[in-house]
Structure 1
Amino acid sequence: MGSDLFISYAWTSDEHREWVRLLAAQLKALGFDVLIDADVDYGDDLNGFMRRVDDAKRVLLVVDRNYVERADTMPNSGVGKESRWISEVHGDREASWMSVLFVNNPDFTLPAWLGDKMPKGFNFNHSSNSLQEFPGAEQVEDLWRWIAGLPTNRDSATPIATLRERATRLEEQTLRTEPSQWRSPDLEGELRFAYADAPQRTFRWGFGDSEFAFSVSGHSNDSIYVLKDYGNAVGLVQGEMPDDADLARHLVPGRSVTPRVGQSVVLMNEHGRLALVEIVDVQRETTHIPYTAPHVTFRWRVIASS
């Protein structure tokens, strides 16, 4: 599958090259797959490169004065080769396939082969004497709307600020449910676990034969269901806290136990190792404003001697 955009430009100066790379980075940040000529080794596979240009959904020429000169008078330069290849493909494509971005080219000069074709152009020229003529967000939006195939008329467009807010909400929700958020390599620790957001309402810690899964669901204001769904056994410590060597006797054959705040649970994983979990705090869901998500705060410790 081809890239969303191929950018052709001249290495006029370090500053110009950096400007084009920053523009490409901006477009990549918007989600476009962008290929620039810096990614191409002309000596390796010219036919392969021509196919990449041909497969690109859009082609953008960043035309400064130096680009025009190289395209017209230096056929063996990178710009000269690209101009020749693009011109060969251009005739078979719809008009919207290629566009021109003018920068440091106030006369809007085009390479000779484009002189009578009148491609769509984007004015990124600026004048040091007038900040009002400096290109900004509006020009960038025009550019990405062309890449995306959207109309230039923005009457029905969703404002960028709204799109950003939506994207932020989506990413925040994705992060809340991302499995890596609900895992720790530590053999002991403490966590405020908002279990409703976690996949299978499960938090995992440790690694290898010391890995444990803590699965819970709500019960009451001061207690929680602890399930053995992802372990071998679970048990509730009754009475005084026993020595580590005596924890296994508290395991029970049932699927769950219901510890209250201040009580501890014994977990046994599929390798027969043990972990101790102390319930520090339990919070049920409250739907009034401000909303409070259900959570349990607990401390865990993998029993070294197990």
Structure 2
Amino acid sequence: MGADLFISYAWTSKGHREWVRLLAAQLKALGFDVLIDADVDYGDDLNGFMRRVADCKHVLLVVDQNYVERADTMPDSGVGKESRWIAEVYEDRDPAWLSTLFVDNASCALPAWLGDRMPKGFDFNHSPGSQQQFPGAEQIEDLWRWVSGLPANRDSATPIATLRERATRLEQQDLRSDPSQWRSPDLVGETRFMYEDAPGKRFYWGLGASEFALAVSGRSYDSVYVYKDPIKAVGLIQVDDVDDADLERHLTPGRSVTPRTGQSVVLMNAHGRLAVVDILQVQREDTSGSQYAPPFVNFRWRVVETS
């Protein structure tokens, strides 16, 4: 399957080239697969280039005055070659396959090879004295509607701003469950753990032989279940002041312990190392109010250096 769009343009100036690359980047950000000159090294391989262009779902000519001049009078230039090759493919394509974008071309002049074909065009010219350096959202929307094969009439269209808002919402939701959000390399630290968002309701810290995972679930307004599932053993520290040398005796053979706010647990990982977790705050899930309150546990951890 070919790219969604190939963009043909002239290297009129550094500013023009950057403008086209920004345009391509904008379309890529919207999810389109876009090819420009940097993506196509055609050299002397006419057949290779033709295949790349022919496989594209659409071709866009960025037509400034220099593009027209090169296409018409400089057959050995990059634009001249591309124009000749695209013209050959165009004969066998649906008219909607190709379109033009006019910039710095107030008369909307076209290369001669297009003749009276008059493909659909997008006017990106700006008025003299305008500070506009990049097309606005409305023009970009016209362009992506063409690439997507949507009608120009927007009566039933979803505004691009709404689509961006939806995409942001989806990405934010994905980030909430991204494992990297629930991991720390530190041997000592503190965090607010929104455990319903984390894969397996687990938070990891440390590396290698010093890696630990806290697996929890809600229990009450001030307590949680802490499980041994991702490690080797857990235990509830039953005294207020315990020496690191005595931590091991608090480990239990059971699957879980139920610490309350202000209590601590000891964890042993698969390498036999120990860590202490202090439960600082517990928030139970609350769906009774006008705004949903997600469950979380604030905790502090440290890997025991002497273990």
TM-score interval, normalised by the smaller of the two chains: over 0.9
Equivalent pair of 2:244/2:304 in contact (CA under 8 Å):
yes
Structure 2 partner of 1:202: 202
Offset at residue 223 of structure 1 (A): 1.1
Equivalent pair of 2:217/2:225 in contact (CA under 8 Å):
yes
d(CA) in 2 for partners of 1:188, 1:266 = 14
Offset at residue 164 of structure 1 (A): 2.4
Matches within 5 A, 1:151-166: 151-166=151-166
Structure 2 partner of 1:295: 296
Q: Gaps spanning 5+ residues in structure 2: where?
A: none
Q: Secondary structure at the match of 1:224?
A: strand
Q: Gaps spanning 5+ residues in structure 1: where?
A: none
Structure 2 partner of 1:250: 250
d(CA) in 2 for partners of 1:186, 1:40 = 45
**What letter corresponds to residue 299 of structure 1 in structure 2?**
R
Q: TM-score, normalised by structure 1?
A: 0.95
The reply to whether residue 271 of structure 1 matches residue 290 of structure 2 is no
Q: Secondary structure at the match of 2:196?
A: helix
Structure 2 partner of 1:220: 220
Structure 2 partner of 1:30: 30
Q: How many residues align?
A: 305
Mean Cα displacement is larger for which, 81-90 or 282-291? 282-291
State the Cα deviation string for residues 63-99 of structure 1 (Å, max 9, x = none): 1111111111111111011111111111111111110
Structure 1 partner of 2:2: 2
Structure 2 partner of 1:73: 73
**What letter corresponds to residue 164 of structure 1 in structure 2?**
R
d(CA) in 2 for partners of 1:211, 1:268 = 10
d(CA) in 2 for partners of 1:8, 1:212 = 54
d(CA) in 2 for partners of 1:91, 1:70 = 21
Structure 2 partner of 1:125: 125
The reply to whether residue 86 of structure 1 matches residue 86 of structure 2 is yes
Q: TM-score, normalised by structure 2?
A: 0.95
Q: 1:305 to 1:135 in 2, by over 3 A?
A: closer
State the Cα deviation string for residues 104-133 of structure 1 (Å, max 9, x = none): 11222111111122211111122215789x
**What letter corresponds to residue 107 of structure 1 in structure 2?**
S
**What letter corresponds to residue 250 of structure 2 in structure 1?**
H
Equivalent pair of 2:137/2:160 in contact (CA under 8 Å):
no
Structure 2 partner of 1:102: 102
Structure 2 partner of 1:140: 140
Structure 2 partner of 1:173: 173
Offset at residue 258 of structure 1 (A): 0.4
Structure 1 partner of 2:16: 16
Structure 1 partner of 2:64: 64
Offset at residue 264 of structure 1 (A): 0.8
Q: Secondary structure at the match of 1:195?
A: coil
d(CA) in 1 for partners of 2:258, 2:136 = 60
Q: 1:266 to 1:45 in 2, by over 3 A?
A: farther
Offset at residue 162 of structure 1 (A): 2.1
Equivalent pair of 2:184/2:206 in contact (CA under 8 Å):
yes
d(CA) in 1 for partners of 2:190, 2:131 = 54
Percent of aligned positions that are identical: 75
Structure 2 partner of 1:39: 39
Mean Cα displacement is larger for which, 123-132 or 62-71? 123-132
d(CA) in 2 for partners of 1:130, 1:11 = 23
Q: Secondary structure at the match of 1:61?
A: strand
d(CA) in 2 for partners of 1:44, 1:244 = 73
